[in-house]
Amino acid sequence: MLEILAITCPIYLVVLAGYLATRSGLFARADMQVFGKFVFNLALPALIFNALAQRHISDILHPGYLLSYLFGSLLMLTLAFVIGRRLLGLNLVRSTFLAMGVSCSNSSFIGFPILMLMVAPVAGVALGLNVIVENLVMLPLLLAMAEHGKSGGGGAWHQVMRQSARRLMKNPLVMSVTAGLVISVAQIPLPQPVVRSVNLFAQASGGLSLFAIGGMLVGLSLSAGWQRVVPLVAGKLIGHPLAVLLISSLLLPLLGVAPMSPELRAAALLMAAMPMLSIYPILAQAYGEADRSATALLICMVASFFTLSGWMWLVTPH
């Protein structure tokens, strides 16, 4: 357990450093958005491209990982939405953001740095596969559900899906996955100056992303009924990884899908065990759910120190 804490503590100390630096006025909260833009638009795309372009396609496309993470996320989305509507009596929009909170992980800003410390050889590939699941399936579906709810249950599905498709074509992470896969399939050797330049950007992603997350937490509060978001937090930090574990252990063998390597299996579970995505309150703001979502994100970040330590201990060989 001390070895696990030696991995998790630096991660959260960097997050704390970002929080304190912003809270003390050394940086403005707006500066964290600039750092986040750099990570999202340059550092992470460089990292994903590098991880995919330098591997053979057979080492990248792992059906077991993709199906486990996709079906596990869709299972949590469905359960949360149905519970929100049928048991809690929530409206369509609030049920949708409950579903988003428990099924969409912060794979880029928190997940990747932790995987680099736990399962470094597969960290980049796992991040690329998560980008495919979350950006091509989960977020477009959830945003379409939110628009459907906002319109009172009317149409808007086709319009939202078209808008999502246009946004995805311009998404740097999706573009980097596409470019990396093309280079991998074509087996095009990259010139060393290009590889080194891409590496320089990629190496900036881990620490800066965690620092930015800490700064973004400044200003969030627990005023929006923290007791009401505890089930959401538990669903994300415990339910989501359990769903991915259930799919990979029970469903995929029945479908005849080849089992994952222990490293990839651990990566899929840990990615699901991350807090919800950092833009969760930003997406919720347009639908009147910003306060509740910000409270959930803050509690989830704090609680994840303990739950992630537990999950990391479980996936570590003893």
CATH of the domain at 11: 1.20.1530
81 has a pLDDT exceeding 90: yes
> Is residue 3 assigned to a domain?
yes
Q: Which residues contact 182 (CB under 8 A, 6 or more apart)?
A: none
pLDDT for position 168? 67
> Is residue 318 assigned to a domain?
no
More confident residue, 318 or 142: 142
> If pLDDT is split at 50, 70 and 90, which confidence band does 96 have?
very high
Q: What is the mean pLDDT of the chain?
A: 84
How many CA atoms does the CB half-sphere of 78 hold within 13 Å?
7
Q: How many domains does the chain have?
A: 1
More confident residue, 150 or 245: 245
Mean pLDDT of 229-254: 93
Q: Is 244 exposed, middle or buried (0-12, 13-18, 19+ CB in 10 A)?
A: buried
More confident residue, 290 or 153: 290
> Is residue 316 assigned to a domain?
no
Mean pLDDT of 162-187: 78
More confident residue, 171 or 88: 88
Q: Which domain holds residue 164?
A: 1-310
> Is residue 117 assigned to a domain?
yes
Q: How far apart are the first and last CA of the chain?
A: 10
> Is residue 317 assigned to a domain?
no
> Is residue 232 assigned to a domain?
yes
Question: How distant is the alpha carbon of residue 119 from its chain centre?
Answer: 17
pLDDT for position 161? 66
> Is residue 315 assigned to a domain?
no
pTM as predicted: 0.82
Nearest alpha carbon to residue 132 among 109, 148, 108, 114? 108
> Is residue 252 assigned to a domain?
yes
273 has a pLDDT exceeding 90: yes
